[in-house]
Structure 1
Amino acid sequence: MKKEFTLQLSPEEAYDPVIFQEVVRKKAGLPANSSEAIARQVKRSIDARGRNVKVNIQAELFIKETPPALLDHQPGYKNVSKEDAIVIVGAGPAGIFAALRAIELGVKPILIERGKDVRSRRRDLAAINKDQIVNPDSNYCFGEGGAGTYSDGKLYTRSKKRGDIRRIMEILVAHGATEEILVDAHPHIGTNKLPKLVEDLRESIRQFGGEVLFDTRVEDFILEGDEMKGVVTQHGDKITGKGVILATGHSARDIFHLLHKSRIAIEAKPFALGVRVEHSQKLIDSIQYHCGLDRGPYLPASAYSLVHQTEFKNKQRGVFSFCMCPGGFIVPAATSPGELVVNGMSPSRRDSKFANSGIVVSVELEDLPEYQKFGPLAAMEFQADVEKRAWQAGGETQVAPAQRMVDFVEKKVSASLLDTSYQPGLHSVEMREVLPDFISQRLAMAFKAFGNKMKGYYTNESQLIGLESRTSSPIRIPRDRESFEHIQIKRLYPCGEGAGYAGGIVSAAMDGERCAERLIESYIHISR
């Protein structure tokens, strides 16, 4: 027999597995130590609005029966080595899940990745952090698993219109993720656990007949009239298939240039740009959990989400937190020499003493009149120029320009900077010399407003570390709303974050699946 409960528990009751079992059994009128009843959590979220933090739980209790498996989805992979092939460019979540879905549908994926496999990437990440050497093909953005692999692995998404979130989560669990991601309201895997998971996803692709090619950068397209037949690599190799899914991520500027040069339609797209703000995690915990400087052994490192509407020169723009990393680290995310970009990541335990978040300003195309000469590349060229300015301000290395928060608002260069998780180091500057005026003015307004919403957030015991500029793609590759095919080129399927149709691991994975389905429906199964 199964009983269902909606509970509001203390952190100890929710997170201590023994105490949780006892609480649910008592709720059902059973002895706390009953061996015939097993409880499990189905959904869990933290409610920190009151003085005492509570955890909202949806639970199931199984009495005299074994709980069924949490996983409903069991992929039906089959060997596709001899089947028709499709080409997938980019082995981030969109590309990987497109490949797995193709296998389910009986089609062979050829997955091309410009960077290295997930383990080999580590040497290039170490080179950025320690020696400040940026490999343009292997870095925090490029390589197996994409940008999310070494930047936290957050799985929360509001996007439900292009796929089944639960299905994506279950595939991740089937490949090694903990079942906790099926339970937590804001799940994440952690950058320390993602590499093994990514390896297992890749091995599923190879095991069932798909190909995965690393160190393979696309340098040209194979076009016959208005049809995409394949791609040409940096080695001159031609890779062809029934269609091409382009899932290159938001930082593949060479691909955007190639599309433009090839007269394949692309569009400039609004995005967001700002800084990454770092506080001590204890300070954020004390604000969010009302707990002083010790949140106790049960509560996880606390996160925050902030947004404020600003007006500058009669234009309204939002300023908001982005990719908040509790108990995390700030990392160098440049993809080419001569630029400086930062991002955030957290290990699975989220046990760093630092909390960081992007605080970014919405950038609309009308904010960039001097860049309109670049046409569809306007927002990307603006983004690149600010990244170059940040690199120059830091000393033309991966040392990041930085400033304490109150000093920034009051227009003072910080006499000293705080300890930081950013390994290449910080250089004290006036961040207004790095950021465009319409960005810095709005950030200054927002920091004061955030201090009113989160008492203690606005403090000189926090610092701005720049530049957070890769929030989303500054380019959209237009596609048909129903078929997902490019509006101009047949058999080309723009996909994921880089094409402007996703905003994170799960939404990109769902978009990858849908692109694979549409391509196969149109050009393989129907023709058989």
Structure 2
Amino acid sequence: MKKKELELVLAPEVAYDAQQLEREILKHAQVNPEDVKFIHRVKRSIDARGRQVQLRVRADVYLENPPTDILSPKFDYADVSNAKKIIIVGAGPAGLFAAMRCIELGLKPVVLERGKDVRSRRRDLAAINKEHTVNPDSNYCFGEGGAGTYSDGKLYTRSKKRGDLQRILQLLVQHGATPDILFDAHPHIGTNKLPKIIETIRETIRSAGGEVFFDKRVTDFVLDKGEMRGVVTGDSQEYTGEAVILATGHSARDIFELLHQKGITIEAKPFAMGVRVEHQQQLIDSIQYHCDDRGPYLPASSYALVQQTVYNNRQRGIFSFCMCPGGFIVPSATAPGEVVVNGMSPSRRDSRFANSGIVVAIELEDMELEKYGSLAGLRMQQTLEQKACAMAGGTQAAPAQLLQDFTRRKTGGELLDTSYQPGLASVDMNELFSPDMAYRLREGFKGFGHKMRGYLSNEAQIVGVESRTSSPVRIPRDKETLEHVQIKRLFPCGEGAGYAGGIVSAAMDGERCAEMAALKAGVSFMR
């Protein structure tokens, strides 16, 4: 294969301009442009270690036709209208990508989503922000696309061994995402663009003969001799098929409760809880990029922080989670009487605020397992969320405190402007958390202040609570077949089952579950 592999160090204004970048690649390749068959942009990443921020770019220049696997493939879907059915519960990334993979394998997906389609869902999100009204079936967590639709749209994962990462990104590009996600080291789509992509995926499923239903909350299972044959929805409709893929997300507490009531094995699992911290984006830029103004080319900067803390001889990590540069804090409660916050960013990441979850690891020994069993983590979440709501006044206003005041245990400071639309209530956040969590958060922020000078100050504030980092419950499955350890033809999938941690890993897990369900349905295939 005739190609030249290049590693370039470029200024931001070159790396982020397509025409200048191509000229630079051709110049360094030292070839006649007419001899070039294809330029494969492999990776682009920011290097801010020095005083001058640079971009590192890897590219391959092909002097003959490149392998087909590096081109952007077109995924074609045959008509599966009359094929065997796979029931998929949940239309988040896991469920939607499971559905598309079912179609590729010649199976008909029937997707049941408890919430509304993305357009109708917007009205319920507006009601949370403006009227403090939470619809338990349509909110920032439930609805078409799941929690990922209204998020930063981050597309990187550490779970690369669990599936084909590039394939997931290529599918997203086919459905409307910018091709830059195939190239950037830390790609993202943005909450303003994700809804349209999700709609396009839905139409792909339907045009191939699959079915997608909304306002279909599952209330019961159809079981036959230890096998899952289907589900029953709140309108008393029964949906049956060859298998059920359960992709309900990390906040579907009624599903965990239903499994528990039916005697279907579930387990408590570690997770994390804490707060959102909000800074001015310009401050984070100045710390990370070593300049007062990042200019028109560099994106809003982010950070990743971790600190170990010890309390009562128990060591626990405190770490940043789902950092949203140029983003917003949003209300993510799924029931009245609770306050939950999360973060999201538009594609341009052009808000003047930066926010990140700062959370404490919760291990099994931190939970009341003897009292609540497999639902112990879920009860721990509920207790904190309900307390946050009560302390902030019983609406969707969130409890908050200036960051340095929190670490110094000082109360009464006037809160700052915020991106959180329902508003903030000034409280002593040390009183919100248990003594061990409050201590770990204080110590963690102090450590972060040493790592990022200027981070720990009263120019930032913390907002609570960030409690839905991941599912507090695992639905155990066989490592090889991915079937539930007790109930055959049931495939627990994605974040809600405890096997994913974001859009991409959930999508990959959805594809794997679809493949295993296909084998159960008697379909053989080659990947």
TM tier, smaller: over 0.9
Name the residue aligned to 1:443: 441
Measured at CA, do residues 224 and 29 of structure 1 come closer, stay the same or move farther in structure 2, by a change above 3 Å? closer
Measured at CA, do residues 23 and 376 of structure 1 come closer, stay the same or move farther in structure 2, by a change above 3 Å? same
CA distance in 2, matches of 1:426, 1:159: 36
* Residue 374 (structure 1) shift: 1.0
Name the residue aligned to 2:347: 348
Alignment of 1:334-373 (within 5 A): 334-369=333-368, 372-373=370-371
Partner of 2:75, secondary structure, is: coil
Letter in 2 for 1:229: R
Measured at CA, do residues 433 and 217 of structure 1 come closer, stay the same or move farther in structure 2, by a change above 3 Å? same
CA distance in 1, matches of 2:358, 2:452: 14
Measured at CA, do residues 64 and 250 of structure 1 come closer, stay the same or move farther in structure 2, by a change above 3 Å? closer
Name the residue aligned to 1:13: 14
Q: Deviations along 1:71-111, whole A, 9 cap, x unmatched? A: 45432411001011010000000000110000000000000
CA distance in 2, matches of 1:224, 1:40: 52
Alignment of 1:78-89 (within 5 A): 78-89=78-89
* Residue 162 (structure 1) shift: 1.6
Name the residue aligned to 2:378: 380
Question: CA contact under 8 A between 1:43 and 1:57: conserved in structure 2?
Answer: yes
Partner of 2:483, secondary structure, is: coil
Residues 1:244 and 2:239 aligned together: no
Measured at CA, do residues 246 and 66 of structure 1 come closer, stay the same or move farther in structure 2, by a change above 3 Å? closer
Alignment of 1:413-492 (within 5 A): 413-492=411-490
Name the residue aligned to 2:112: 112
Letter in 2 for 1:473: S
Q: Deviations along 1:403-429, whole A, 9 cap, x unmatched? A: 011100111124201110000111100
Alignment of 1:42-61 (within 5 A): 42-61=42-61
* Residue 62 (structure 1) shift: 5.5
Could you tell me the TM-score, scaled by structure 2's length?
0.96
CA distance in 1, matches of 2:419, 2:270: 30
Q: Deviations along 1:293-337, whole A, 9 cap, x unmatched? A: x10111000010000111111000000000000000000000000
Name the residue aligned to 1:254: 254
Alignment of 1:383-398 (within 5 A): 383-398=381-396
* Residue 435 (structure 1) shift: 1.4
CA distance in 1, matches of 2:111, 2:150: 20
* Residue 40 (structure 1) shift: 5.6
Question: CA contact under 8 A between 2:374 and 2:473: conserved in structure 1?
Answer: yes
Q: Deviations along 1:451-493, whole A, 9 cap, x unmatched? A: 1111111111000000000000000000001000000001110
Partner of 1:338, secondary structure, is: coil
CA distance in 2, matches of 1:431, 1:104: 50
CA distance in 2, matches of 1:245, 1:40: 37
Name the residue aligned to 2:25: 24
Name the residue aligned to 1:206: 206
Residues 1:521 and 2:519 aligned together: yes
CA distance in 1, matches of 2:68, 2:110: 36
CA distance in 1, matches of 2:501, 2:23: 40
CA distance in 2, matches of 1:178, 1:45: 17
Partner of 2:521, secondary structure, is: helix
* Residue 160 (structure 1) shift: 1.6
Measured at CA, do residues 127 and 329 of structure 1 come closer, stay the same or move farther in structure 2, by a change above 3 Å? same
CA distance in 1, matches of 2:452, 2:180: 29
CA distance in 2, matches of 1:345, 1:201: 21
CA distance in 2, matches of 1:317, 1:437: 14
Q: Percent identity?
A: 64
* Residue 65 (structure 1) shift: 8.4
Partner of 1:120, secondary structure, is: helix
Q: Deviations along 1:111-157, whole A, 9 cap, x unmatched? A: 00000001111000000011110000000000000001001111010
CA distance in 2, matches of 1:58, 1:150: 31
CA distance in 1, matches of 2:475, 2:339: 25
Partner of 1:148, secondary structure, is: helix
CA distance in 2, matches of 1:516, 1:175: 20
* Residue 41 (structure 1) shift: 2.7
CA distance in 2, matches of 1:344, 1:492: 32
CA distance in 2, matches of 1:261, 1:163: 33
CA distance in 2, matches of 1:146, 1:413: 37
CA distance in 2, matches of 1:520, 1:17: 42
Could you tell me the TM-score, scaled by structure 1's length?
0.96
Question: CA contact under 8 A between 1:242 and 1:524: conserved in structure 2?
Answer: no
Question: CA contact under 8 A between 2:339 and 2:385: conserved in structure 1?
Answer: yes
Name the residue aligned to 1:158: 158
Question: CA contact under 8 A between 1:272 and 1:360: conserved in structure 2?
Answer: yes
Letter in 2 for 1:493: F
CA distance in 2, matches of 1:212, 1:384: 31
CA distance in 1, matches of 2:257, 2:161: 30
- Range moving further from structure 2, 267-276 or 154-163: 154-163
Letter in 2 for 1:333: S
Measured at CA, do residues 334 and 226 of structure 1 come closer, stay the same or move farther in structure 2, by a change above 3 Å? same
Partner of 1:330, secondary structure, is: strand
- Range moving further from structure 2, 126-135 or 72-81: 72-81
Measured at CA, do residues 40 and 431 of structure 1 come closer, stay the same or move farther in structure 2, by a change above 3 Å? same
* Residue 9 (structure 1) shift: 1.1
Alignment of 1:273-422 (within 5 A): 273-292=273-292, 294-369=293-368, 372-422=370-420
CA distance in 2, matches of 1:69, 1:425: 49
Partner of 1:298, secondary structure, is: coil
CA distance in 1, matches of 2:40, 2:240: 48
Name the residue aligned to 2:491: 493
Q: Deviations along 1:263-292, whole A, 9 cap, x unmatched? A: 000001110000000000000000000012
Letter in 2 for 1:514: R
Question: CA contact under 8 A between 2:242 and 2:520: conserved in structure 1?
Answer: no
Partner of 2:250, secondary structure, is: coil
Measured at CA, do residues 65 and 163 of structure 1 come closer, stay the same or move farther in structure 2, by a change above 3 Å? closer
Partner of 1:43, secondary structure, is: strand
- How many equivalent pairs are there? 523
CA distance in 2, matches of 1:383, 1:83: 42
CA distance in 2, matches of 1:520, 1:459: 54
* Residue 2 (structure 1) shift: 4.3
CA distance in 2, matches of 1:522, 1:85: 12
CA distance in 1, matches of 2:490, 2:313: 41
What CA RMSD, in Å, does the superposition of the two structures yield over aligned residues? 1.8
Question: CA contact under 8 A between 2:85 and 2:108: conserved in structure 1?
Answer: yes
CA distance in 2, matches of 1:232, 1:29: 64
* Residue 63 (structure 1) shift: 6.5
Residues 1:175 and 2:175 aligned together: yes
Letter in 1 for 2:280: S
Question: CA contact under 8 A between 1:273 and 1:363: conserved in structure 2?
Answer: yes
* Residue 67 (structure 1) shift: 11
- Range moving further from structure 2, 38-47 or 453-462: 38-47
* Residue 64 (structure 1) shift: 9.7
Question: CA contact under 8 A between 1:268 and 1:476: conserved in structure 2?
Answer: yes
